[in-house]
Amino acid sequence: MVFTANDLQEWKDFPKGLKVLLLEGDSISAAEIRAKLEAMDYNVSTFCDENEALSAISSTPQNFHIAIVEVSSSSSQGGFKFLENAKDLPIIMTSNNHCLNIMMKCIALGAVEFLSKPLSEDKLRNIWQHVVHKAFSSGTSILCESLKPVKESLVTMLQLPTDNEQDENKVSIDIDEAARFTDYDHVLSPGNDKYPAPSTPQLMHGTRLLDDGDCQDQTNCSTEKESGEHDGESKSVETTCGNLNAETESTPQERKSDMTLAREEVDLVDASKGESIASLHTQKRKVLSNPDKNTKSANIVGVVSDSCEIKPRRKKMKVDWTPELHKKFVKAVEQLSIDQAIPSRILEIMKVEGLTRHNVASHLQKYRMHRRQIFPKEEDRKWLNQRERIYCVQRPIMAFPPYHSNQTLPMAPIYPMWGQSSTQTAGMHIWSSPGYPLWQPTAEHWHWKPIPGMHADAWGCPVLPVPPPQAPFPYTKNMPALLNADATGQTFTMPQSSLEHYPAEEVVDKVVKEAVSKPWLPLPLGLKPPSTDSVLAELSRQGICSIPPRSSKGSN
């Protein structure tokens, strides 16, 4: 079939003029369906006998783009003969009988869809999708002659790559042109192959949900929305569709930063807002059609390659808080102090390109949440922060009880990871498990290396001495009998003289509880973190005059 320029011109209004073969045994039903189809400017040829219909498509295949065939109970073949002998055409089977077996048989025999009667306008409106799908899913050599013009027309209309060009993964789409499809609700839906099977509304639900779900009219592309937060710095965020972002003009190497975007999803635009979904589907097809190229980065999922030539107005960027990025974050928080750390200031300090205040705020929220989760053991942090890392040595001596006095200290090493790590390996989980104390390290005592015998069984964990194996910290009546051991197994005996003057548990509890109940406030000692001396001084101020001498390792 020769397709003329005139034909192309006609297809400008695609799918108007779509040629539909209607095989329907009931004349009344046929008339109704035909009327509906013609109301949509489809050209309908009605047949009541499938042999006649088969003859027609055999003699004049160019006259039919799609067939709607009733599973007839009156016909001996029930319409299946047509289905089996007209495989070149996309065939939609219909029936009043909603029997699953019949539906499955139809599909198994090659029907593109089964529509339950009655056929509403909604059901009929989008049957053209099957034509497009058939045209694009079939190889040129086996493509039904009648569908070639459809394909060619669409290729021209949408500036889709030709078969030869598709490997180039170059898609340029005229959104305005493609926007005409929005009148038909959907264009091409994502699916399993290059141009996956479309569906009429009956089967379009999933796709529709997908669209609706992402069609939020919000500028959640923070890079764009909050560009003012970037301090005017050059953008170097590694985006997954750099050329989609007009702000990002640096080279991939330049764009590489410690902040990576795990995902940058192109927002599906809402047709109801006058934006074309065609561009979206084009991008989706693009992704699907070239998975290798688009999955070259492990952190990138479902993205459009750099060769994408269209510029969607909105996109989502998902920040991957890598250990390095988190490290920067923690550093900024530390610099500001947790009390003063607000997203905008953190962002200012971090100076990470592309990172937005929202990103930081979110992360800060999580950061604080984790702090609260570990709240019951927050007091541990005070001791972990002690200069010279004397916490585990000091703590029992100081007799600061755990928040729950009968609580057994975790046998597992205390590995707070909501902190800064200088050697944290990439990909390591940076969040601590609930219940582990937070460590806000400072440079001078930051240790991120396993030391033999230190219960440091993982990289990236601060090395902490091991608590005594049997009991919680001794600070009550049993204290004299208890020893504390450091990681090397050395134990420390509490000097008896000190124990005699040991403060009452209530007193200690009061101090501790006050401190841990308001972690956002400066610690009672007025220091953050408190130095050992400050703690001692404060205790002294509170009447705890006799403090066991500071033990050093191996002081037994």
Partner DNA sequence: GGAGAAATAT
Partner DNA sequence: TATATTTCTC
Minimum CB separation of residue 277 from DNA in Å reads 15
H or E segment and range at residue 94: strand 91-95
Between 434 and 453, CB nearer to DNA: 434
Q: Which is nearer to DNA, 142 or 298 (CB)?
A: 298
| Residue reference for tokens 């479309």 | 198
Minimum Å gap between C-beta 358 and DNA is 4
Least Å distance, CB 364 to DNA, is: 6
Nearest to 111 by CA among 95, 93, 124: 93
**What is the bridge-based pairing of β-strands 491-493 and 483-485?**
antiparallel
Residues that bind DNA (CB under 7 A): 213-214, 216, 218, 220, 222, 228-229, 262-263, 316-321, 342-345, 357-359, 361-366, 368, 429-431
Question: In angstroms, what is the minimal distance from the CB of 515 to DNA?
Answer: 19
Q: Which residue number, 17 or 302, has a Cβ lying nearer to DNA?
A: 302
58 versus 340: smaller Cβ distance to DNA: 340
Query: How far is residue 335's CA from residue 545's CA, in Å, rounded to a whole number?
Result: 34
**397, 492 in Cβ contact below 8 A?**
yes
Shorter beta-carbon distance to DNA: residue 95 or 222: 222
Give the residue with the Cβ less far from DNA, 65 or 357. Answer: 357
Whole-angstrom distance, CA of residue 188 vs CA of residue 147: 16
The nearest distance, CB 321 to DNA, in angstroms, is 3
Cβ proximity to DNA, 133 vs 370, nearer residue: 370
Residue 85 or 219: the one with the smaller Cβ distance to DNA is 219
At a CB cut-off of 8 Å and minimum separation 6, what does 470 contact?
Answer: none
Q: How far is the CB of 410 from DNA (least distance, A)?
A: 16
Nearer to DNA, 88 or 334 (CB): 334
Q: What is the smallest separation between the CB atom of 171 and DNA, expressed in angstroms?
A: 23
Closest CB to DNA among 54 and 430?
430
The set of residues, in sequence order, having a beta carbon less than 8 Å from that of 52 and lying 6+ positions away, is none
The phi, psi pair for 68, rounded to 5°, reads -115, 115
Q: Which is nearer to DNA, 343 or 402 (CB)?
A: 343
Report the sign of the C-alpha dihedral through residues 311, 313, 319, 325, in that order. Answer: positive
Largest CA distance in the chain: 111
Separation between Cα atoms, residue 410 and residue 404, nearest integer Å? 13
Residue holding tokens 């001396």? 533
d(CA 288, CA 195) in angstroms, rounded, equals: 9
Distance CA 233, CA 354 (A): 9
CA distances from 200 to 144, 313, 365 (A): 21, 28, 44
Give the type of residue at 324: E
Token look-up 């989980």 returns 429
- Helix-strand-coil split of the chain, %, nearest 5: 40, 10, 50
Here the contacts of 165-170 (C-beta below 8 Å, separation 24 or greater) are 166/194, 166/289, 168/307, 169/286, 169/289, 169/290, 169/293, 169/305, 169/307, 170/307, 170/309
Q: How far is the CB of 548 from DNA (least distance, A)?
A: 38
87 vs 372 by CB, closer to DNA: 372
Q: Which is nearer to DNA, 317 or 454 (CB)?
A: 317
Angle at the Cα of 488 (from 483 to 494), degrees rounded to 5? 20
Least distance to DNA from the beta carbon of 310, Å?
Answer: 19
DSSP 8-state symbol, 350? H
**Residue type at 150?**
V
User: Residue type for 473, please?
Assistant: F
- Smallest separation (angstroms) from DNA to the CB of 204: 18
Which residues touch 117 (CB under 8 Å, ≥6 apart)? Answer: 29, 70, 94, 95, 96
Residue 375 beta carbon to DNA: minimum distance, rounded to whole angstroms: 13
Q: Shortest approach of DNA to residue 152 CB, angstroms?
A: 35
Three-state secondary-structure class, residue 140:
helix
User: What count of Cα atoms within 13 Å lies in the side-chain half-sphere of residue 285?
Assistant: 27
Which residue from 266, 267, 265, 262 is spatially nearest to 238, judged by alpha carbons?
Answer: 262
C-beta closer to DNA: residue 213 or 469: 213
Least CB distance to DNA at residue 175 (A): 21
CB of 264 vs DNA, minimal distance in Å = 9
Lookup: tokens for 85: 């002998």
421 residue type, one letter: S
